[in-house]
Amino acid sequence: MMPGLSLKVSQSLTLTPQLQQSIRLLQLSTQELQQEVEQMLDENPFLERAEDEADAPAEREPAANEAASDFVADGAYESSATAEFDTEPVAEVSAEALPWEGDDGRDTAAEDWGGDMPARGAGTDDEDYSALDHTHAHESLQDVLHRQALALRLSAEDRAALYFLIESLTDDGYLEESLAELAEGLVDASDAEALDEALHHLTVALRLLQSLDPVGVGARNLQECLVLQLKALQRAQAGPAEALETALLVCHESLDLLARRDVRKLVQLTGCKEAAVREAMALIAGLEPRPGRPYANVERNVIVPDVIVRPAAATRAGQPQWRVQLNPEVMPKLRVHDVYASALRGHKGGHAGMQQRLQEARWFIKNIQQRFDTILRVSQAIVERQKNFFVHGELAMRPMVLREIADELGLHESTISRVTTAKYMATPQGTFELKYFFGSGLGTETGGSASSTAVKALIKQLLDAESPAKPLSDSKIAELLQQQGIECARRTVAKYREALRIPPANLRKAL
């Protein structure tokens, strides 16, 4: 083949580093954003936390944001901190199975954003949201057990073994490894005498551990956990003796049959009367399958909302209005370092590397600003479309897909998906992920559609009102929905019921 030259015309999309950063920041959760901010503060000397307004420099340099203003991403806009909604549309802008109970700061819009003053109108009302206090001490299960162990008179070896077992517990209060496995991790497995001695001390320590509160702690499996609690009730005479004896027999026979509520087979295996088995099953249902649960550190699961929705003071045409605002607690307070930026400007020509870091700091602040602006825009559109939800709850949720919000705001569906993932909205109805407000629709007899979220709420309402002695089957629920004009197949009902973590009818039936 002879070599030759040819021309080819093609189109390609190139993402600038700034736009790549903007997209990446948009999809980060609040916690991930905070980590990103801390990393940038450590790496970029031109970036600093904003000062309080009283300490802010009096001078402002208009030229500080010139580079940042050269780029405006598609869909960039001047957002407002709060928005009141009535019937007017948002203006379009282009661009488990057991039934347990139980810079120098010269540009106030981009470089002081979230600091001395709100950016581009994205301020917040501090009085509408008070941050949760996460500073109070949390006492873990291990702390509770160690404190009880101090009252025991033990040898140094037994105390060390008890300490080791306490530290080996899971969050639920279980020992996942056997004593033999734990002993092998303490001594040389080839030394039989040392291994036997370690196993002896661990066995003594296990009996001591299982005598501590909460009852059931230190169990190796669910069966042992339940048996420990039942024996504690027997010692305390805290229940009918016959029921406790039957409950112990039931636990020793088969937890699978207990989970399936197979009373007939349990009667055959235990040799007890049906009434006694049912009473024992009810007793077991009141036990705690996870002894460590009350001491779980729930603070790590606390969700801090990105957006807050509050009712406005006034209504219009009898319809409530809603105010949508960003949560000040999640907005980083950043600015470009005044001293370093001034020193760099004083150097004619400057150092190219330092100029680049200064520009990176400006772009980082601007991209964070744009992230929150986009979150606010999307949240406003969601509130407008789902305003009945904020008054009447889940039953009033309407079907909505990402494409609707994307078309309304002139953004791509992928952008809406990034915005609504791991971002949360605090409402009078509770705190929800933005994705919660999106859902497919089911057909109705009138030709309209009902939101899958509303249908789930209706199913839960029906199940809450059912007779415990005669729970509703999935087929019956489908019939009841049909009577209300909602076309929902039995398989769909089963799927929604499982999503609500509600067991089937045979497991909901009263004992």
Is the confidence at residue 125, as pLDDT, over 70?
A: no
Angle between helices 156-167 and 141-149 (to 10 degrees): 170
Angle between helices 156-167 and 192-209 (to 10 degrees): 70
Residue 220, classified by CB atoms within 10 Å of its CB into exposed (0-12), middle (13-18) or buried (19+), is middle
Beta bridge partners of 300: none
Nearest to 77 by CA among 18, 121, 20: 121
Q: Tell which wins on pLDDT, 99 or 252.
A: 252
pLDDT category at 358 given cuts 50, 70, 90 is: confident
Q: Which two tokens stand for residue 237?
A: 């005479």
Model confidence, pTM: 0.61
Is the confidence at residue 492, as pLDDT, over 50?
A: yes
Q: How far apart are CA 244 and CA 230, in angstroms?
A: 7
Single-letter code of the amino acid located at 319: Q
Residue 375, classified by CB atoms within 10 Å of its CB into exposed (0-12), middle (13-18) or buried (19+), is buried
Residue with tokens 């499982």: 498
Q: Tell which wins on pLDDT, 12 or 17.
A: 17
Helix (H) or strand (E) holding 309: strand 307-316
* Three-class secondary structure of residue 439 per DSSP: strand
Q: Which two tokens stand for residue 312?
A: 């406005």
Angle between helices 352-385 and 413-420 (to 10 degrees): 90
Nearest to 69 by CA among 506, 376, 382, 370: 370
Q: How far apart are CA 152 and CA 158, in angstroms?
A: 10
Mean predicted confidence (pLDDT) in 382-400: 89
Q: pLDDT tens digit string along 430-481?
A: 999 999 999 877 777 666 677 888 888 899 889 988 888 888 999 999 999 8
* Range among 347-351, 388-392, 433-437 with highest mean pLDDT value: 433-437
Q: pLDDT tens digit string along 146-160?
A: 999 998 888 888 899
- DSSP per-residue letters across 94-113: ----S------S--TTTTSB
Helix (H) or strand (E) holding 416: helix 413-420
Q: How far apart are CA 219 and CA 225, in angstroms?
A: 5
Least confident of 124-133, 135-144, 436-445: 124-133
Is the bond into 214 cis (omega within 30 degrees of 0)? yes
Q: What are the backbone dihedrals phi and psi of residue 260, each rounded to the nearest 5 degrees, phi first?
A: -85, -5
Nearest to 110 by CA among 85, 73, 147: 73
Nearest to 377 by CA among 347, 414, 415: 415
Q: How far apart are CA 176 and CA 276, in angstroms?
A: 33
DSSP state of 314: E
* Range among 326-340, 345-359, 382-396 with highest mean pLDDT value: 382-396
Mean predicted confidence (pLDDT) in 36-60: 70
Average pLDDT of the residues of the chain: 78
Is the confidence at residue 61, as pLDDT, over 50?
A: no
Cite the DSSP H helix spans in 236-336: 241-253, 255-260, 263-270, 274-285
pLDDT category at 210 given cuts 50, 70, 90 is: very high
How many helices (H) and strands (E) are present in the chain, helices listed first? 21, 8
Mean predicted confidence (pLDDT) in 204-216: 92
Q: pLDDT tens digit string along 92-122?
A: 333 344 444 334 444 433 434 433 333 333 4
Cite the DSSP H helix spans in 92-178: 141-149, 156-167
Mean predicted confidence (pLDDT) in 219-245: 89
- Other C-beta atoms closer than 10 Å to the C-beta of 245 total 16
pLDDT category at 350 given cuts 50, 70, 90 is: low
pLDDT at residue number 135: 42
